[in-house]
Amino acid sequence: MSRAWRHQLLSLFIVFAWGLTWLALWTISFYLTDNGQQATLLLPQGVHLALLILLHRRYWPALFIPVIGLLIWLWLQQLMTEPVMLLSPLLSAIPALLVQHYWHRFTLYWQRLSLLMAAITGDALLHTLVLTPFLSSSASQTLLAAFTGGVVLTPFVYLIYEYLRQQHLESLLAQETPNPPLRTSLLIWCSLFFIIGVGAQMVVSPEIERLLLIVVFLPNVVMAYKFGWQGGVLAALLGSMMITIARQIGSGFNGLMEMELFLSTQALLGIGLGIAISRQQHLANNLHRYRQRLEVELQARRELMEQLVHTEEDTRKDLARELHDEIGQNITAIQIQSMLVKRTASGDATVLAAEQINQLAQRIHHSTRHLLRQLRPPVLDEISLDKALHHLIQEFAFDERGITCHFHYDLPGQPASDPVVFTLYRLVQELLNNICKHADAHKVEIALTQQAHGVRLEVKDDGIGFSGSTHTGHGLQGIAERIRALGGDLQLESQSGTRVIVNLPTLFQQTQG
Amino acid sequence: MISEQTIGRDYRYWRPRLLLSMVVGYAAFYLTRKSVSFVLPAMQLDLDLSKSDIGLLGTLFYLSYGLSKFVAGLWHDRRGARWFMGAGLLATGILNILFAFGSNLPMLLVIWTLNGFFQGWGWPPCARLLTHWYSRNERGFWWGCWNTSINLGGAAVPLISALMALWYGWQASLFVSGTIGIIIGIWLCRSLSGTPQEMGLPSVGVWRHDPLEMRQEQLSPPMPQWQMFRSTVLQNPMVWLLGVSYVLVYLIRIALNDWGNIWLSESHGVNLLSANATVMLFEMGGLLGALFAGWGSDLLFRGQRGPMILLFALGLFVSVAALWLSPVHHYALLAVCFFAIGFFVFGPQMLIGLAAVECSHKQAAGSVTGFLGLFAYLGAALAGWPLSQVIERYGWSGMFALLTVAAALIGFLLMPLLMAGISAQDRSVGAMDPAVTLPQDT
């Protein structure tokens, strides 16, 4: 179907549906106000303004034609006495144009609702200013009628429009759910409040004025609190209907003005509260979203670090094997060769040279061994962590320095992950190094125990502690970094000696290593 | 394998013809169904019937009609006989003629209840053909066109009945509608076809390349009838929700249709002819409303019926309230209000049936419309005897208060859909681009 046809048909639909709705709304307003002019301003005006703002300007003719036509008809039928009311639909076009100008700059619902409120106020003021000189009713009546109609119905039309627009935009993918979720809680709340309200009116209609406060304002607050601006808007409309019924059943209000004032107040309360709560919910949602995103980033960083540790460990392992296999064997060969040269040598110079070669080879051998140990403690490849640590502590020879050292090992098995084993080993090595060099301690306690999902290492001494954290050295800093990368944590306490506690998550091998 | 061209030619041959047959056939059904309501004011005097007698006649008729629609729907989904609709029409024509000779109340009740039973044979075949010959993104339009048959029938009946009753007495008007029913019934037996698959054609979704239609076809694997009925109709919350709103829609529709002319002639002193003319205005509005609703839901909401139902329900509430509250001695305004209610009531009346068919199993079209028919004619039955009690006790304003509440409830029942929709939108907009929304919000 071509664009022009589509537009024509839509306009025709709007002419029919809007024209009939307008007349029906006018009839209801007429019943409430008993005044053709006021009736035009009350209910139809609110919907008219909302439609002018929400619909595209090419549909404006379809909005104006039925309204003006019906106004003329009503005038001819003597249901409306003042022909100046024919200006009313055109007057609304001015605030509508202004609001449409700003409409697309503000995308959030509360901003748009505020814009609508501004439009309602402007519209009511404009009508009052222009029409009052020609009407028999007072300026305040005109103002209140236009404002009440707007504040009750305009946000509701916006709510409906938002829903329809969203249905329209919904793509085929979103239609995959054949049964849209039904929210029954709202239905229950709504009907409950409405039934209570109407029931209260039936039973205690003489004292309704005092009761109305509870019956109308309370639902407004609750609905706005539970459902945000949608709830607020809906509650405002229901409240208005309830007040109207109250006025018709009993004689709750002294006059039309009082009822309109009450209507606007409760509608403003519901909508204002709804906006505030919706905005709060929106902010809370944003915060929640950012927190989740941060958590994901942190998790990714930790995984990256862990991978880094693994890669480093693998590289070291490869390097160490290479060094051990290649250089080690060759040095041994060089030593043997130099020995042979020495035995078969004839001159002193040759013997000297061979000895020097041997010594050089020896030195290279030593430095290689040192390098190997630094790269990857060779003991760990052969013996368990338990024994390797014992071995390490013995190497420090604390007894000879007059330091008593207690080592307590209580793990169900060897930690399953290699990086954890090496980290623990290096950590102990680094800490004991520090103690030997700086601590001036007399007593050292090392404990390795199992805890939930991991191991706990505690190293305690009674030395001088840290004078300043800069002294802890880059070695410890690097290890602390690794521990965090492996998902653990490191605590340093420096009160009458030093106490280091490390927790590392790991699994344990079932077989005793 | 048939070529693409042949398929296209066959589809193009059958679709307008089927629509025409269904429109004429259903309008004839309507003629034989409504023939009594429009001569009731005359009959009431002749046979000395009270309001509650008339109410009882209506209630029994609508109950048997609703039940029969449901049973016929189940039966027709399984057997799919071509002559079904025609045979039903033939039977109702004969019963109409018999009714004209009825003289006492029990006999009238029996004949009219039987008539209700055969009336139920009309809708299921139509629903079945409409779901199988027309695809999702155009069905609103075709269904809307078909729905006009109700209004055409509804508009033609009061004229024919009133004129016949005026010239020859009320028996003649029943006699004429009965004869028309018999003739069209015989014609209809020959002119309807089965589903495209039964004619050796591919399904309409395949022919039209309509993704939504094909999706529904995929979601409708062959299964035993009872299981199909249970899983896609009984356990489908949408169908129940639509069903409950349907009760209310029908309550309003039938109340205005059946009581409208009595109300006009009693409380406004309008004569029978202009009262029927006003009810005809109601049907005219309905014709436009159904067309716009069907076409609008196709075009505006891509074949989704929910939003359009909501729009029409809001209009319905406002216009029923307006009819109730309109200044009493202003006939023109009343007539416009009747037109408005017709416009807004036939939108949901048509779309709810359509939506229910589209959210259930493809082979269950007849069953689900029959199931909805139960609800519909529960509403219609409520508009009979129970409503007459309301009118006798609380007067006409009691009836209108009740109808207004019913109209409000229709919109109200659809509100959960609305709230769920918008909060989902809030979430999805926020989730898509928080960086854009956040700075503006703070």
Whole-angstrom distance, CA of residue A68 vs CA of residue A451: 83
Q: What residues have CB less than 8 Å from A71, skipping those under 6 apart?
A: A40, A80, A85, A86, A88, A89
Whether pLDDT at B189 is above 60:
yes
Whole-angstrom distance, CA of residue B353 vs CA of residue B212: 18
How many of the other CB atoms lie within 10 Å of CB of B180? 20
DSSP for A267-284? HHHHHHHHHHHHHHHHHH
Residues of A in contact with B322 (CB under 8 A): 23-25, 27-28
Task: Provide the b/e sequence for B370-386 (b: ≥16 CB within 10 Å).
Answer: bbbbbbbbbbbbbbbbe
**Residue A512: pLDDT band by 50, 70, 90 thresholds?**
very low
Q: Looking at domain B18-196+232-421, which of 1.20.1250.20, 2.60.40.10, 3.40.50.670, 3.40.50.2020 is its CATH number?
A: 1.20.1250.20
3-state SS class at B121: coil
Token digits of residue A442: 């007399």
Q: What pLDDT, in 10s, does the model give residues A406-448?
A: 888 888 888 877 778 888 888 888 888 888 877 778 888 888 8
Looking at per-residue pLDDT, the higher value among B216 and A426 belongs to A426
How many of the other CB atoms lie within 10 Å of CB of B318? 26
**Residue A209: pLDDT band by 50, 70, 90 thresholds?**
low
Residues of B in contact with A234 (CB under 8 A): 415
SS3 content of chain B, % helix, strand, coil (to 5): 85, 0, 15
Whether pLDDT at A177 is above 50:
no
Q: What pLDDT, in 10s, does the model give residues A31-71?
A: 888 888 888 888 898 899 999 999 888 899 999 999 999 99
> What's the rounded mean pLDDT across residues B21-31?
87
Average pLDDT, chain B: 79
Cα within 13 Å of Cα(A199), Cβ side: 6
- Which 8-state DSSP code applies to residue A405? E
Whether pLDDT at A474 is above 70:
no
Whether B208 and B135 have beta carbons less than 8 Å apart is answered as: yes
Whole-angstrom distance, CA of residue B28 vs CA of residue A389: 101
Among A124-133, B51-60, B382-391, name the most confident range. A124-133
Question: Where are the strands (E) in B104-172, listed by range?
Answer: none
> pTM higher than 0.80 for the full model?
no
Question: A458: part of which helix (H) or strand (E)?
Answer: strand A454-461
Whether pLDDT at B246 is above 80:
yes
- Interhelix angle B365-382/B237-267, nearest 10 degrees: 40
Predicted local distance difference test score (pLDDT) of residue A207: 59
Predicted local distance difference test score (pLDDT) of residue A466: 66
Q: In what order do the strands lie in the sheet with A498-505?
A: A404-410, A443-451, A454-461, A498-505, A489-493
Radius of gyration of chain B (CA): 22
Q: What pLDDT, in 10s, does the model give residues A189-208?
A: 666 777 777 676 666 655 55
Predicted local distance difference test score (pLDDT) of residue B341: 92
Domain ranges, ordered by start, for chain B: 18-196+232-421
How many of the other CB atoms lie within 10 Å of CB of A356? 11
How many of the other CB atoms lie within 10 Å of CB of A261? 16
Predicted local distance difference test score (pLDDT) of residue B427: 40
Chain A residue with CA closest to B285: the answer is A16
CB-CB under 8 Å, A1 with B299: yes
Average pLDDT, chain A: 81
Predicted local distance difference test score (pLDDT) of residue A10: 87
Residue with structure tokens 């999706």? B215
Predicted local distance difference test score (pLDDT) of residue A378: 64
Q: What pLDDT, in 10s, does the model give residues B273-320?
A: 777 788 788 888 988 898 888 888 887 777 777 788 888 988 999 998
Looking at per-residue pLDDT, the higher value among B105 and B219 belongs to B105
**Residue A290: pLDDT band by 50, 70, 90 thresholds?**
very high
Question: A505: part of which helix (H) or strand (E)?
Answer: strand A498-505
What is the phi-psi region of residue B303: left when phi exceeds 0, alpha when psi lies from -120 to 50, beta otherwise? left
Question: Where are the strands (E) in B263-364, listed by range?
Answer: none
Nearest to A182 among B211, B237, B423 (CB): B237
CB-CB under 8 Å, A180 with B318: no
Q: What pLDDT, in 10s, does the model give residues B91-128?
A: 999 988 888 887 778 888 888 889 888 988 888 888 88
CB-CB under 8 Å, A178 with B219: yes
Looking at per-residue pLDDT, the higher value among B215 and A12 belongs to A12
What is the phi-psi region of residue B418: left when phi exceeds 0, alpha when psi lies from -120 to 50, beta otherwise? alpha
Percent share of chain A, pLDDT over 90? 11
In B283-322, the residues whose Cβ lies within 8 Å of chain A are 285, 288, 292, 295-296, 299-302, 304, 306-307, 310-311, 314-315, 318-319, 321-322
Q: What pLDDT, in 10s, does the model give residues B355-411?
A: 888 777 777 777 888 888 888 878 887 887 888 888 888 888 888 888 888 888 887
**Residue A400: pLDDT band by 50, 70, 90 thresholds?**
confident
Nearest to B343 among A16, A30, A279 (CB): A16
Residue with structure tokens 């939506």? B355
CB-CB under 8 Å, B314 with A286: no
Whether pLDDT at A301 is above 80:
yes
Predicted local distance difference test score (pLDDT) of residue B330: 78
Whole-angstrom distance, CA of residue B235 vs CA of residue B340: 35
Residue A347 CA from chain centroid, whole number = 85
Of B382, B388, B60, the C-alpha closest to B252 is B382
Which segment of A80-94, A111-125, A479-493, B59-73 scores lowest on mean pLDDT?
A479-493
Whole-angstrom distance, CA of residue A98 vs CA of residue A119: 8
Nearest to B340 among A23, A182, A230 (CB): A23
CB-CB under 8 Å, A24 with B318: yes
Nearest to A167 among B304, B415, B427 (CB): B304
Query: By the CB < 8 Å criterion, does B260 face chain A?
Result: no
Predicted local distance difference test score (pLDDT) of residue B424: 42
Interface probe, candidates B138, B324, B426, B432, chain A, greatest A C-beta count within 10 A: B426
Whether pLDDT at B214 is above 50:
yes
Question: Where are the strands (E) in A365-453, listed by range?
Answer: 404-410, 443-451
Predicted local distance difference test score (pLDDT) of residue A20: 93
**Residue A174: pLDDT band by 50, 70, 90 thresholds?**
very low
